[in-house]
Structure formats: C-alpha cells, structure tokens
Structure 1
C-alpha cells in the first residue's frame, strides 16, 4: 500500500512537471508569436506609411501641375477676351444709321452688351454728367446723333427705344463713382448731349467735339 502511494505520488509529480513544462513551452510559443506578429505589424505599418507618403507627394505634384494648367488657361482666356473686346469695340464710333442697326444687332446678345458696357464704364468721369458725355462722344458722331432725340421730338427718331440707350445707362452704373445713379440722373445729360449734336457738328470745323460741348 505504501509503495502504491509512492508510485502514485511520483506519477502525480511527473504530471505536474509535464504540465508546468507544457505551460512554459506554450508561453514561449505565445511570446514568440507575439514578437513575430509585432514585427509583421510594424512592417505593414511601414509599408502603409511609404504608400501614404508616395500618394501625398503625387497629390502635391498633381496639384501643382493643375495650378500651372489653370494659370495658363486664365492667361489664354484673358487674351481671347481682350481680342473679343477689341473686335466688338471696333463698331464705335457709330457714323451712320447703318452702323446703328449693326450695333443694335450686337447688343441683342446680353453677353456682348455686358462686355461693351464694362469697357465704356472705364472711360472715367467724376460725375454722372461727365461720364455720360464721355461715353456718348466715344460711341456716336454728331452727324448721326443729330438725327435723334430722347423722346423723338421735332420729327427725330427716339433714342430711348434703342438698346444703345440701355447700354449707356448700364455703363454709367458700372462706373464705381456713379453706380448709384438713377435712370433719370443719366437720361438728363444724355438728352442734353443729343440736343446739342447739331450745334457741335456745325462747330466741328473750327474746334474738337469735346471742346465745343464744354
């Protein structure tokens, strides 16, 4: 009985030792696996960082390329717009009724109306009267202007029915100094300028148009 107990005790001790060794081996394997996993994880992170860096550089380079393309586009577009403006503005000054008809056709296009109005607004002037006179002098000669009055008085043609009249009002309002002007404010000097067209034509042989109207 005693020997059996010793044998059982040795067997139990042996099992405990084996279990302890197994646990140690499992722990070693687990630690090794953790280290390998950690190493692999670091490698993956490193690769991701590399890809991210490459993508960032690519986006930056692509962004700069796009900016260069857009700059060139704006330069080309500006040149084309300048050429278009110059072409449109060549219709002035109006010299006869045929020119009036051509101008009216051009002004039916809202975009061209805006382009011309913007250009005319740059003629300058400190007051509504001054800028209105400058615009009128630049767009129509006295020979043609004398055929019109604002309301069509004395058998003349009505200037107010022309898109040209709307153009002048728009141009005056696009000038920073006269942007708050009412239609009445603009029509008054415009009307006066038309009334004096015949007088300026008569005087044009002895002095410039702008001096005759001062």
Structure 2
C-alpha cells in the first residue's frame, strides 16, 4: 500500500496537461499511423512529455504489468505483428521514439535503473512476440459465438 502511494506521489498529473492536437486515436490501427506518430514524437518534445504522462497514468502493479498495459493501449495486435525487437525479418521496435516514451513512462512510476529498463524491454519483446497468438485467439472466440438466425 505504501509503495502504491509512493508511485502515485511521483506520478505526473496528466489531467493538468493539455492534450496536443496531433495525438492519434489509440490503439493505433495501421502501420502508417504508427510511423507518423513516431515521427511526430521525434519532432515535438511537448507531444513526448504529454505521452509520457499519459502512459504513466495507465498504471500497473509492476514494471512488467505497466509495460504490457501501455503496449495494449498504444498499438493494435495488427500493428504489433509487423514489429519485433531487433527488426530481423520485421520492423525494429527497439529504436523507435515510441520505445523511448515507454521507458520514460515506466520511470515515472518505478525506480530508474538498468534493471527496470531491461524489464520494460523484455516485456515489450514478449508482447510483440505473442501478437499473432492474440489475434488468432480473438478469431477463435469470435467463431465460437453462436449467432441466432
């Protein structure tokens, strides 16, 4: 309980920040939208600050939980399947400006350090890796729904 209070006291109050005009609708649904958003983050520091505060507010019980929740909030599984960490046979997520924002959002709620950065990176790697499985599972669930005629 004390840890949660400490995290809350560190958290940037995102309601006080004005939402920039160029914030997309989340989760981002297409590669083009994601790449455009990533480019805007590179050019607009205020957008980056807003997104750090917004993503930190997503919350989670630990670094891994927060990171998974951030990824689910940010991008759809259809975009996630186009990426992996290093970019072998896919696009690289590691070097995106979005990833820098994710690292910073995690630092708002949890102690700074290489250990937490590694936990964030590992969580993103796993989330990207299982995007195809999540898509297939959602299709199975839809197929099981009996539609009355």
Q: TM-score range by the shorter chain?
A: 0.7 to 0.9
Change (3 A) 1:97 1:90: closer
Change (3 A) 1:130 1:207: farther
Corresponding residue for 2:92? 158
What per-residue deviation string (whole Å, max 9, x for no partner) do you get for residues 153-192 of structure 1? 3x011111211111111111112xx233532121011101
Aligned pairs for 1:24-39 (under 5 A) are: none
Runs of 4+ in 1 over 3 A off after TM superposition: 87-91
The answer to whether the 8 Å contact 1:91/1:99 transfers is no
Matched, 1:124 2:59: yes
Aligned pairs for 1:98-109 (under 5 A) are: 98-108=32-42, 109=44
User: Which sections of structure 2, spanning at least 5 residues, go unmatched?
Assistant: 1-15, 143-149
Corresponding residue for 1:133? 68
Q: Tell me how many residue pairs correspond in the alignment.
A: 124
TM-score normalised according to structure 2 size: 0.75
Report the CA distance between 1:88 and its aligned residue.
Answer: 4.5
Corresponding residue for 1:190? 124
Higher helix fraction (1 or 2): 1
Provide the alpha-carbon RMSD of the alignment. 1.9
Corresponding residue for 2:77? 142
User: Which sections of structure 1, spanning at least 5 residues, go unmatched?
Assistant: 1-77, 209-214
Structure with the greater alpha carbon radius of gyration: 1
Distance 2:63 2:126 in 1: 13
Aligned pairs for 1:87-98 (under 5 A) are: 87-98=21-32
Among residues 111, 114, 124, which one is paired with 1:179 in the alignment? 111
TM-score normalised according to structure 1 size: 0.53
